Each structure stands twice: as C-alpha cells, then as structure tokens.
Amino acid sequence: MITKTIRYELADGIATITFDEQDSPVNTMCLQWQDDLDAVTAQVGKDREQIKGIVLASAKSTFFAGADLKGVMRSTAADGHRVFTEIERIKRNFRTLETLGVPVVSCLNGAALGGGWEVALVGHHRIAVNDPKLQFGLPEITLGLIPGGGGITKMTRLLGLVAAQPYILESKLFGPEEAMKIGVVHELVATPEELMPRALAHIEAAQGKPEACQHVWDRKDYKMHGGTPSNPKIAAMLSVAPAVLKQKTRGLYPAPEAALAAMVEGAMVDFDTAMRIESRYLAGLMVSPVAKNMINTFFFNMNAIKAGQSRPKDVPRYKPQKVGLLGAGMMGSGIAYAQASRGIATVLKDVSMEAALKGKANSVKVTQPRVDKGRMSAAEQQALLARITPTASTADLRGCDLIIEAVFEHRELKAAVTHESEPMLAEGGFFASNTSTLPITSLAKASARPQKFVGIHFFSPVDKMKLVEIIRGKETDDETIARAYDYVQALGKLPIVVNDARGFYTSRTFGTFVMEGAAMLGEGIPAPVIENAAMQAGMPVGPLAVLDETALSLSVHVLEQTRADYAEEGRHYDTTPGEHLVEQMVKQHHRGGRAAGGGFYDYPAGQKKTLWPQLKTLFEKPDVAWDLQEVKDRLLFRQAVETARCLAEGVLTSVHDGNIGSIFGIGFPAWTGGALQFIYGTGIEGFEKRCAELAAKFGTGFALTDAVKAAIREHQPVY
C-alpha cells in the first residue's frame, strides 16, 4: 500500500510503515499525512492476524520533522475545535498501533524533533544511529506551542514529573547517547543500514513476551518515577513551580504555563484522559496569536536567515582563513575570540603590544570557566589562544582575507586606520567597519576600493550576542556582501543584511526605544514606572538602564556627530525630547553612565544598582497622569514604527531581517515575533489606529506616512 506520504508493506509477518512525504525533503504531519495515517492504521487493523511486529522507518535523511506549521499560521481563533479534533485523530491512530499487542520498533535514522519525536515514541522499542549530530526532543515551547502529540504525557510517564521538566518546559534537546542514558532510546547502532536487522532481531526475540508489546505506562505495575502530585515532595515542588515560571515568562508566554499544567494534571489521571488534557491545551495555543508570532519568526524567518535568503545569489561560498582586527578593546577582543573559537587565524592589532595582549587575555577570561568546569580541555583552550596573534605592527596584517576596524566611533580615526591597513589585504580581500552608527558610504570614502568596503556590526558582548548586522554601502558589491554573510555564518552567528543609513536598522530602532524612555522621564513620568513597564512588556531591561550601560556620554557624542554631519549638508537637526534630556544629564548633571560612575542609576560597590535619587527631584511631576498600558505601548509601538519606516525607506529589504534583527539585536520581546510581526500580529488596521492615537498625544515619532502604510501591506507574509 503506497500513499502520498506513507509506504506500507507486510512481508513475513513484519508490517513496515515507511514515512516518505512526496515532493518534500522532510516528513510532516500535514493533512495528507493525517489522512494517510488513517488509511494505513486501518489496514494494519485488517492485517492484525498476520502481523508479529511493526517497524516505523523513514525514507528521508531525517526521521520525522513534526507539525505542519504553515497550517498553524493559517488557523484562526474559530478553528479551535477543528484543531483539537485533528490532534485527537493523530493520537487515536498512534494509540491503535501501540496497543495492538505486537512489538512496535522505531528506527531513528536521523533527527526526530517535536512531532517527529512523538512519532518515535509510538515504538515500544527505539533504536537510533549513534551519530552525535543527531538531535531528538521537544522544541515546541520555543515556538509558542507545547508537545501535544503525546510528548508531554509520555515523557512525564517515562521520566517522572521532575526529570521530564528540562525536556518539556526548557525544550532541552538531546543526542543518541543521552537518549540511551535517560532511557528513551533502547539501542544504538553505528550506521542506518544496521537499523532494520536490529529491529527484526528485536521483534523475533519479543515473540511470546507480552511486556515487549506494551509501553511501561500500560503495565499493571506502573508507578511514576519520583511520585505523582499527591507525593508530599512533589507537591512541595509544584507549589512554587508556577511562581518560578511566572518570574521567567512575566506572564507573556502561555506555552510553558500550559505545558506545566498538562504535565501535572495529566499525572493525576489515567493515560487516555492525560492525552486528552494535553490535546486541549495544544489546541488553545495553536490558534493563539503568540504561537503564530513565534512560529513566524523562530521557524520561518530563522530558516530564511540560515538558508541565506538575504545573501546575493551566484556567489561561491567563502570562509576567510586569516582575519585582522583593528582595536583590541571590548569589541575587537570579543570578535577575536569568536573567530578563534571557530578555527579562524586572527591578528589582533592595537596601538601598543600591551593593549593587544590585554585584548587577547579576554579569550582566556571567556574560556577559563569552561576549562574549570570540564567543558573544554586545556589543550583546546591553548589551541584557541594560539590562533590569536597580538601585535602593534601594521605589517603583521599582511595577507589577511578580511580586515575589520573596531576602533572608537570617530570618523577621522576610522579613516586613518583604513588608509594604513587596507593595503595589507591579500589579493581579493575586503575591508569592514564595525561601526554601530556612522554611515558606511561616508566611511568608505577613506577606502581605495569602496566596492570591497562593508559594514559588519557586531553586538556586545560578542561571545553571547548571536546577531551581526551587515551593512551595504552605496558602492559595496554583491560578492562582498555574500562573503560577509558567509563569514558571519562561519562564526555561528545570525547575519541580517541592511542598506546604509544613519544608525542602519538596529542602532536607529534601538535609539527610539531608549529615547522614548528618556522622553517620558522628561514629561514627569516616574523612572520606576518606565523601567518596570518595559520589563512587563517583555524587553530584557528598561530604557534608562540600557542607556547607562551603553553610556549616556556616547549617546551625546553620537548626537553631536549627527548635528555636525547635518550642518555639513546644510541642514538643521531637530533634537528629540529624549536626546535633550540625555544631553542635560551629561552636561548639566555630569552623569555619563555606568562606566563613568553613574547615570540614571547609582552603582554602589558590591551592591545592586539603584535609581539615582535625584531623578525624582529633577524630573518627576506628581500632577502628570500616566497609564501603564500606554507607557508599554509607547515603548513597543515606537520601535515598530521605526522598523516600518526602515522597510519603507529600503534600509530593510525583508521582513525576516527586521524580525530577527529586532529580537536578537535590540531585545524586542520574543512573544511578539519581532517588530514587524508585532504589527501583523496586532492587525494592520489596529496598529494604524493605535499609532494615530499615540501620534496625536506624543508627537510625530508615532506618525505613519502613506509610504510606510503601503510598505507594511506590501511585505505582509502569506502562508
């Protein structure tokens, strides 16, 4: 029996069910597969008397990929009942196969994630290829969903309420060896070719053994590991678990809370009821806006970045062998570590050998804790450090495939180091600036080959931040953009590509967030309200705290540079209320930020930072009325408006670059799916209406032009 997604064969008492979705590189739980599974399961029922064992296999390089996420994107709130029925239909077929009274063996030739792992769990006996690159597990929480194809119920019953939590609530993935260790895989083989012979051997050995045809939870003597919620120890843990979870999610992410509820409620009832509880929670999430926001960005947009959709086509893949860095400060030393950890020979240059050595020492600081914990060997650490050559000599840069300047945000200084070091590039090499705000086209004037000059903007701290913004100057050619893209991917980071403009995309949009916070302080809204509203909306930290970390003095320096650039072009720059307040903090009150001893916050030695008491006296106005939701809206909508403007102006050329850039670059809340998905998730008309209200009260920062409105509609994703 051959269907569009499954092949069914019965020979010598062995029923082989091979998943093989036509015209697709992977197997998914699409509607066609659901229909085909119905048909195959019905056929298995008819053939029951001839079957002594069932093998679940895959014709793809992976075992099974999981749910049809495009189908989820198309669902609406009214589809809840239909979705629940579909989930229950899949599980009913799973249950039929696993309670047939014959051994079922899952042959895991490749990755099995999400719904794929739930398909694997149908097998009473699971055999996997022992390849450390293979991944198993339940990543649904990261997409705003929960494992609802039996994943929660089965993993909780296999591992117990406590041990299952990392794999369900934290989406912890695992390889074949860990799977064996925790008991969710029973056998490992060296090659895919060995899977079927081992499966057949197991089925043969299982004949006449009823327990080999049952899952542990179906056995009469089954007891849950560690106890059920009625156990006093488990009950004590569960009494605080929701509060701990709420602290992490801030109530913005319904999936982890639903998963915990399904785990606990399911543990108190029989297996079939637990499965139904799980289905109900999943159905509710699948039609929720948060899940759609997160699926859009963390699956579809992320895959677009990884597949290189913003990378110029028809340019061969590239990896530089030797890269030079100018400036061994925080950014330069961070990039040096990122390169050396990925096998790239690095020349780290500064004005003195002492400064260069200090920059190299940063890699010791990053790696030593790993060595101490046994996560990295001393030999691996030494090999990494050996790839970094500190120097004060420009001549040592000779032969570099790429040179990146990471010096202070000063145009003349950047021009000087470009002139000096660019001639050292190997033939065909290219030059990059790690500037965060200065337009690349103007910096490229210092280059002899502006077509080979590009912006590669890393974020601090480099070892932790995944995003890198690639900026195309007016003359930058496609080959240089493609090579910069490949270089960033070689570092294991996420590249987005944007066109040149002041502040590019991330710094420009990030600036609106912090300056809106500063503007609200200037209006008289209490500083704690602003900071807490940002956190409650899902930002990692408040705007005033961020300004302190990035330095108020730097913001003033950028402001002065912007005014000078405008003046040179014969234009006047209108200072925003937020910028005016930051300038006042630095020039009148001498509060330059954390590095300068204090800004909006005080930093007492060995204690937690606290808001500077003078903020209340200087700025707070008790008679100013404020609304918490409005404060949250101002912080999120202002960033979304600026992102939409970047799209309309061509600074951003795709939705995926905007969403991934906003989440990984400026900490836009993940529950929204990013700054552009925030617009689509809100609904375009609803977004425009709210912007008009905010613009009427708080100025042109929230105003949407016809061009911006058109761009939002033009780029709306369709599934």
Active site residues: 118, 140
| DSSP single-letter state for residue 300 | I
Cβ-contact 129, 193 below 8 angstroms = no
Nearest to 124 by CA among 75, 28, 56, 57: 56
Order of strands across the sheet with 345-349? 388-391, 345-349, 322-326, 400-405, 425-433, 453-458, 467-472, 494-499
Name the residue among 635, 643, 636 with its Cα closest to residue 501: 643
3-state secondary structure of 385: helix
Ramachandran angles phi, psi of 346, nearest 5°: -130, 130
Which amino acid is present at 361?
A
Rounded to an integer, what distance in angstroms lies between the CA atom of residue 289 and that of residue 295?
A: 10
- Two structure tokens written together for 676: 């552009």
Euclidean distance between CA atoms 114 and 121, whole angstroms:
11
CA atoms within 13 A on the CB side of 475: 14
Q: Helices 552-568 and 543-550 meet at what angle, rounded to 10?
A: 80
Burial of 270 (0-12, 13-18, 19+ CB in 10 A): exposed
State how beta strands 14-19 and 6-11 pair. Answer: antiparallel
- Residue of 677, 675, 684 whose CA lies nearest to 642: 675
**Residue 494 burial by Cβ neighbours in a 10 Å radius (0-12, 13-18, 19+):** buried
Question: Which residues, 6 or more positions from 375, have their beta carbon under 8 angstroms from its beta carbon?
Answer: none
Q: What share of the chain is helix, strand, coil (3-state, %, to 5)?
A: 55, 15, 30
Element (H, E) at 23: none
Residue 2, C-beta contacts closer than 8 angstroms, at least 6 positions apart: 8
247: CB partners within 8 A, 6+ apart: none
Closest of 286, 237, 289 to residue 263, by C-alpha:
237
- The DSSP 8-state label assigned to residue 250 in this structure reads T
Measured in whole angstroms, how far is the alpha carbon of residue 444 from the centre of its chain?
32
Residues recorded for the chain: 719
Q: Are 653 and 499 in contact (CB under 8 A)?
A: yes
d(CA 269, CA 602): 53
Query: Apex CA 249: angle with CA 666 and CA 252, to 5°?
Result: 80
Q: What's phi and psi for 703, nearest 5 deg?
A: -75, 140
Phi/psi of residue 108, each to 5°?
A: -95, 95
Amino acid (1-letter code) at residue 556: V
Calpha distance 24→58 (Å, rounded):
13
Distance CA 44, CA 250 (A): 47
3-state secondary structure at position 136: strand
What is the C-alpha separation between 10 and 663, in angstroms, rounded?
Answer: 50
CB atoms within 10 A of CB 707: 13
Contacts of 609 (CB under 8 A, 6+ apart): 545, 594, 601, 602, 603
Amino acid at residue number 341: S
